[in-house]
Structure 1
Amino acid sequence: MKFVKESFLANGPLSVAVVDKRITHNMQNTLLDLGIKIIETTECPNTYNAIKCHPDISLCKLYDNNIVVAPNVYDYYLKTLKNYGFNVIKGSSLIQNKYPYNISYNVALFGNYAIHNFKYTDPKILEFINKNKIQKIDVKQGYSKCSICIVDEKSIITSDEGIVKACSEFDIDCLLITQGFIDLFDMNYGFIGGCSGSISNDTIAFFGDIKKHPDYEKIFKFITNKNKKIVCLSEENLLDLGSLIPLLL
């Protein structure tokens, strides 16, 4: 097995991924059928129910085998990931209950870009971004990764107009979609980034049936124009599970 080189983009057929432990049986079985082993998250009880098991709330994968984890759940991920050869770095920011003190690790990293509300980014992640001269795109939306479906190194899908406006100043192709139509447990709705993930160099997977989204045709066209295909992990409603984080090929 090899480490996924980038943060959220698999550069080959995925073999291991981190997902919310509340993933449905149907979605889990499809991932297993695709040859993808699941590492389930642990609950972070310090924040609210809808996002307490979301991987992109508690950890942020950097390049190669480096991964930054919130102190709240560090022991679990150190024990779980060290056997795979990961350098599990303890973050400096404790996850707390309310926004914006639960967003420190929810950074969208892709290509040479990092999108976040950098006022609240964990210092260990910021250090990595600055050291590698990654272009920072500062936005008000602190749940940046939740809000962004990363398609490739220069292409994203989001329902957040502020993110689209910020990205318009850079060489990033953005598809703006309608907000809502994605379940998020006891919240009103979830986000497109939280219900998706890269499972190979040419495939984007969705937690649920993306065909049920009112902007499906636009989403399908956008992704296929990037020479990628779509996999629905179940026929259920789209469910925001805090992103699928690709780890190993």
Structure 2
Amino acid sequence: MMRARMLAIGLALTSGALFPGGEARAERLIVSVSNHRVTVTPNYAGEELVLFGSVEKDDKTPPHRGNYDLVVTVSGPRADMVTRRKERRFGIWVNNDYRQFLKVPTYLAIFSNRPIDAIATTEVQRRQQLGLNNVLLTQRVGPDYADVVPQDAFRSAFVRLRSEHGLYRDDSSAVIFLTPTLFRTGIPLPGEVPIGTYTVEIKLFADGALVTRADTAFEIVKVGFEQFVATSARQNGFVYGLVTALMALMTGWMASIVFRKD
């Protein structure tokens, strides 16, 4: 039942990405980011990229078109993650239950120029996955796979924990229109930002309807010794683990000598 529901949602999302009647788009978005390759060094403490762009109109643009709304979704590399629930037993905290999240974004930021509820209806929000509450976060629920309601305890805890580390964000005033067609927004990247490729999806709305969309991307990479360590761990896992264990033993042995009491 849940798999069938997920299939239906996927079909709805696919059909929602098409424009009614196959009409030609009257506007198009021109977008770019200030840096398409962010390098992470040992002293990296985070930074902020700038997404900027403009709305280009043509002769098909309705003359009565009002103000535009913009929703920007930034998604980091995907991975499987687990949220655990703990409870106190006999004076100690133990894991009581857990929920596995499958192929979810390690970084997720949704920015807009005003509250999502003021931009689109609830149905459009769900179909276009506008806002953290409407983004699909697939979970393993017993033998099935599905997303659940935003109020689900595990989902809420997962989003809250990612948000506390600056890895999940939802800001309804981050997009700024400098002119009626020129816009910008910042993309904050915390110090513990995951390595990989980040996709940026920009959706333009007018009068509550999706008008057009555009995509861009940037990459976060490690350089220097950190890159060497990451590559070694990925390509030679056994050797990396062995060397790490030996280094830990050596560090402990040296510490016992330095702090030994005669």
Q: TM-score range by the shorter chain?
A: under 0.3
Query: TM-score, normalising length from structure 1?
Result: 0.23
Larger radius of gyration: 2
Q: Which has the larger helix fraction? A: 2
